[in-house]
Amino acid sequence: MNQGTNAGERVLVAIMFVTWGVVFLDRMALPYLAPYIAPDLKLTGSQIGNLVAMMSICWAVSALVFGALSDRIGRKVVLVPMVVLFSLLSILSGFAHSFVELLIVRGLLGAAEGPCWSIIMAFVEERSSPLHRGRNIGIVASAAAIIGLAVAPVLTTQIAALFGWRWAFFIAAVPGFVMALLIALFTEEENTGTSRQPGHRVTLRDMASLLGYRNIWVSALGAAGFMAWTFLFSAFGPLYITEVEQQAGTIAGFLMGAAGLGSFIIGLLGPALSDRFGRRPVLAVQAILCTILPLALMVHPLYSYLWVLAGILFLTQAGQAIAAICIVLVPTDSVPRNLAGSAIGLTTLAGEFVGGFIAPIAAGTLVAEHGLAAPLWIASAGAAVVFVSALLIASPPKAG
């Protein structure tokens, strides 16, 4: 690629990095603000869970529908309105005065944010040079860790403590408007060559053809295991630390923060390594690391050596790297490039439905009978499913 193209690629990656981080910040705002929202709106724990589940299922369906639409009519024309829409819905979240109102708004917000994932990743994938696709996808995906898992809990809770939880939603909306403008002004979309085929409009038959690719099924399996792992670890890990291990909330924050930082670093390195060594072996190693992560929380003696435990969590949180490889790179390596958004959306649908909707409900039921260790065991099993899916990846795909 020439120098001008490389510069355009870097600009695109930078803008999409921040945009995806802002999307994930807003998605995670509700769980982080739950201690402030629940007393005010008199919400039960199950209602908080229903809010998260509603957002997940709407996210899942929308990621497929609008990802496919972006294959048909273009990326920017779908992405920019969706970024504006989810920012407006974040503001509306701050005006909710009941569970039903918040449920409706967060469901609509999930429907607006789901396409951002599939379209952003398809956009970056098709505009990246063949040797740097994994690297670029890894950079963008890692924004969820540094912004959504590290910055978001501090930002939202500090705003809520100072000004109230409603203002946290209002302020979280502002970056979205800025990023929508930057996407509209400073990103370029290719409509010929290796992206979309000239004169070809994606049809339902094209989308149905995705089911004929073995790696789509394998990626869907891995996505389901990965999202079960990530949602259960994120939701029940802090509770296990505070309620079972009797550690302070600040200790839980320190340990989860160490894991989040590790996710950012590994999220940058893993996909880039998969460009060099292949998707299958790198994904398998990352799955093994993530299998260890929830189990480490249940090793009681490690709580006497918090820095050791934090180091283990830092070194085993490979979640964002798994997301980049399993949900983005393997599907898009395996199908025609004009179906990239549809492929990402389909694997996301499977992952969100099983991991973001069914798994938390099932785990919540098991907690009452078997305690807070049960979700962590299920999370570890989810990572093991990712390992199995890595072994089942058909060759190719290759990074190029």
Q: Determine the pLDDT at residue 194.
A: 39
Reported residue count of the chain is 400
**pLDDT tens for each residue of the chain, 400 residues long:** 455 557 778 899 999 999 999 998 888 888 778 778 888 998 876 677 778 788 888 988 898 889 888 888 889 999 999 999 999 999 999 999 999 999 999 999 999 998 998 899 888 988 888 778 888 998 998 898 888 777 777 788 788 888 989 999 999 999 999 999 999 998 887 653 334 444 456 667 777 888 899 999 999 999 999 999 988 887 788 878 878 898 876 787 778 878 888 888 999 899 989 988 999 999 999 999 999 999 999 999 999 999 999 999 999 999 989 999 999 899 988 988 788 888 888 998 899 888 888 887 788 778 778 888 988 999 999 999 999 999 999 875 444 4
Residue 30: both structure tokens together: 């509700």
- Find the largest Cα–Cα distance for the chain: 64
Domains of the chain: 3-187+212-392 (1.20.1250.20)
What is the predicted pLDDT for the residue at 365? Answer: 77
* Phi, psi angle pair for 113, to nearest 5°: -85, -30
> For residues 270 and 390, what is the distance between their CA atoms, to the nearest angstrom?
14
pLDDT of residue 191: 52
CA 334 to chain centre: 21
Q: From the CB of residue 300, how many other CB atoms can be counted at a distance below 10 Å? A: 9
Q: Rounded CA gap, 77 and 279, in Å?
A: 31
pLDDT at residue 46, as a whole number: 66
- From residue 203, give the alpha-carbon distance in Å to each of 210, 213, 378: 12, 17, 38
pLDDT at 129: 83
Burial 153-169 (b: 16+ CB within 10 A, else e): bebbbebbeeeebbebb
pLDDT at 396: 55
Q: Quick one: CA dihedral 64, 67, 72, 73, positive or negative?
A: positive
Q: How far is 338 from 126, CA to CA, in rounded Å?
A: 9
Q: What is the spatial distance between Cα 138 and Cα 325, in angstroms, rounded to a whole number?
A: 8
CB atoms within 10 A of CB 203: 12
User: Percentage helix, strand, coil, to 5, in the chain?
Assistant: 85, 0, 15
Tokens of residue 274, six digits = 């998969």
